Structure formats: C-alpha cells, structure tokens
C-alpha cells in the first residue's frame, strides 16, 4: 500500500473539478496512458500520470477539500489554450495561433550559469530525464485580476537548484526567456520592450517547495502558448513572475530586474516590483486586487493573501515589514 503523505499545498483534481468532468478525465487519462498515444517527448507523460493515479488512490477525496475547502474548478484545457499572456507573440490574449505555428520548442538548449562551480549547458530533454516528474494542481492569479486552476506536470525548482549546486554567495536566481525576433513577432513589432523577458527569485524562494518547473499540463507536453518547452509556475505570486519558455538560469548576487519591473521603471512607475506576492489589500495603482474573476465560471471571488498559499510561503517574508507594501517595491 502506498503511504505517501500529502503536502499541504495539495489541491486534488477531484476537488478542483466538477465530478462528472473529473471522472471522465480520469478515464481519459487512464486510456491515454495505456494506449501510448501521449506525446512521448522526454518520455515523461506516462510516469507522470501514473504518479497522479497513485496520489488519487491514496485518499485524494479529503473532506477538507470537498467541503468548504479551496474548491475551484479546474480550468478547462481549451480555455487555457486560448487565453494567454505571452508578449513575445503580441499583447492580445489570443496569441495561440502564432505561438502554435512559430515557437519551435525542440531542440531547446538550456544553460545554468553564474555563481555555480560548473556551468552547464544541456538539452531540455536531457534535463527532463534527470528529474522525477509529478503532477501538481495549482491556482494561478494574474495581476490583471483573473484566475485559473491548472494541472501542471513537472518538477520542483528546488531540484534544479540542487543539481546546479550554486555557490553559497549566490543570493538570487535569474531566469530568462528566448530572445529570437525571427520566432516571435511581438519581439519584432514591440522593440521598445526590454527583451528578453527576465524574472527572478531569492534563493530562499527558489528552494521553497512550491516553485514548480512545468514541462507539461493537462497530462500532455506543454503547449507552445503556455510556455513550451519549460516554464515556471509560482502559485503565490502574480502570474507575470511565472516566466515562460526559459533558456537560461543564472545564479547571481544581484537582484534581477524583471521585464515588467523594467518597463514600469522606464515609464516612471512602480507597478510590477520584484516581490509581487498576491495581496488583496494592495491595489495595483490602476485597479483593485481585492477580487478576481474565475475564468472558467465567470464568477468574482475574493482574492486571498499569497493566493491561499500562506502556510507554505509566509515565513519567507517574516520580518520584512508590511507585506502589503511588497508588490510595488
């Protein structure tokens, strides 16, 4: 019998999804896993699904989740595939068309550099093969005040940090997206933006259990528009920190300046600061963050501090003063 204990962030799909949809999807996933029709890039899909099946069997129907718990419907895959922020392909939500056609997620080289003893360059599939993949259902809250629930497949960022073995003097992890104007028209047509897209975390944040490197979603290889072949997801921070299509991880002692933070600075504003923790009490200078629109149902619900993940991450910011001040610093 499996006795795997459930981490406190665990949001089982059974709680995030209406029952009929959930049961159908379980059937579908079982069928797909057996029929070997899953895209097998990196050979990850089947093992990841098997792990999910195990998690389901070890008691996912927890009352805490089904009765008054953080019940939110899983965002349908179709909706997620057609409502994206990916400025490399333009500033509209419907960038899927060009991303599907133009982004070439394989071959894809990733470098791990900066304050590490041995800088490393490797193919994304070689990196995936080194990791044990799992599925995590996370809430996603965009700074634009909409939210989703996404079943990611991937590995904890902390495992990548373990592999990289950064020097003790490294204080931050900076991540960078591809910068190829030939592949993405938004880079060509919006030259005023400070490409490439960059984001960063403190080492304490990067080694927390929550940050997740996604290489798949909905039991499949990650779709181009969702940030193929490899992206980050930080469920307690506004979505702009969850950088897509990563090519470089750099360990550094200088605090990275994010893409949106730089844009904001250039226009004399302080809108998208380094910390960007979800906080309903701190309004964006141009709109409230008190509520969010759940994309799948259209309903408006109150936003939670740290997007409801305070138990896992609040200690990272202890002693840092007013949490409410942190979005825009």
Of the pair 115, 124, the CB lying nearest ligand MTE is at 124
Of the pair 115, 327, the CB lying nearest ligand MTE is at 327
Residue 9 binds to ligand MTE (criterion: CB under 6 A):
no
Residue 187 binds to ligand MTE (criterion: CB under 6 A):
no
DSSP 14-55: HHHS-HHHHHHHHHHHHHHHHHT-S--GGG-HHHHHHHHHHH
Selected range binding ligand MTE among 56-64, 155-163, 238-246, 297-305, rule: CB under 6 A: 238-246
CA 239 and chain centroid, separation: 8
Of the pair 66, 111, the CB lying nearest ligand MTE is at 111
Beta bridge partners of 201: 173
Residue 151 binds to ligand MTE (criterion: CB under 6 A):
no
Residue selected from 74, 142, 173, 187 as contacting ligand MTE according to rule CB under 6 A: 142
Q: Which residues of 32-47 are buried (b: 16+ CB within 10 A; e: fewer)?
A: bbeeeebeebbebbbe
Residue selected from 85, 207, 252, 277 as contacting ligand MTE according to rule CB under 6 A: 85
* φ and ψ at residue 316, rounded to 5 degrees: -65, -25
Residue selected from 115, 124, 243, 327 as contacting ligand MTE according to rule CB under 6 A: 243
Residue 14 binds to ligand MTE (criterion: CB under 6 A):
no
- C-beta of 53: minimal distance to ligand MTE in Å? 25
Binding mask 163-182 for ligand MTE (x = CB under 6 A): --------------x-----
What is the helix (H) or strand (E) element at residue 148, kind and residue range?
strand 146-156
Q: What is the contact surface with ligand MTE in residues (CB under 6 A)?
A: 84-88, 142, 177, 197, 226-227, 239-240, 242-245
């Amino acid at each position: 019998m499996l006795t795997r204990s459930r981490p406190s962030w665990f949001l089982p799909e059974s709680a995030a999804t209406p029952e009929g949809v959930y049961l159908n999807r379980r059937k579908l996933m079982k069928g797909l896993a057996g029929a070997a029709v899953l895209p097998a890039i990196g050979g990850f899909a089947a093992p990841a699904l098997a792990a999910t099946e195990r998690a389901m069997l070890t008691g996912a129907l927890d009352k805490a989740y089904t009765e008054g718990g953080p019940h939110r419907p899983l965002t349908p895959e179709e909706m997620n595939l057609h409502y994206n922020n990916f400025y490399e392909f333009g500033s509209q939500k419907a960038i899927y068309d060009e991303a599907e056609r133009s982004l070439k997620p394989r071959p894809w080289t990733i470098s791990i550099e900066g304050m590490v003893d041995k800088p490393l360059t490797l193919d994304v599939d070689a990196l995936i093969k080194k990791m044990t993949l799992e599925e995590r259902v996370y809430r996603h809250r965009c700074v634009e005040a909409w939210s989703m629930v996404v079943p990611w497949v991937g590995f904890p960022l902390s495992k990548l940090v373990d592999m990289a073995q950064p020097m003790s003097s490294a204080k931050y992890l900076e991540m960078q997206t591809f910068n190829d104007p030939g592949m993405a028209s938004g880079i060509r047509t919006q030259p005023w933006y400070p490409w490439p897209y960059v984001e960063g975390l403190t080492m304490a944040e990067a080694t927390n259990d929550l940050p997740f490197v996604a290489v798949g979603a909905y039991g499949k290889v990650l779709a181009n528009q969702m940030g193929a072949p490899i992206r980050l997801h930080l469920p307690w921070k506004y979505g702009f920190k969850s950088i897509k299509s990563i090519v470089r991880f750099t360990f550094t002692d200088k605090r990275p300046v994010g893409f949106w933070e730089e844009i904001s600075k250039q226009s004399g504003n302080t809108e998208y600061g380094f910390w960007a923790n979800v906080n309903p009490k701190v309004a964006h200078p141009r709109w409230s963050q008190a509520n969010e629109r759940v994309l799948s149902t259209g309903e408006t619900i109150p936003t939670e501090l740290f997007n409801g993940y305070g138990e896992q991450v609040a200690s990272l910011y202890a002693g840092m003063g007013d949490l409410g001040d942190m979005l825009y610093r």
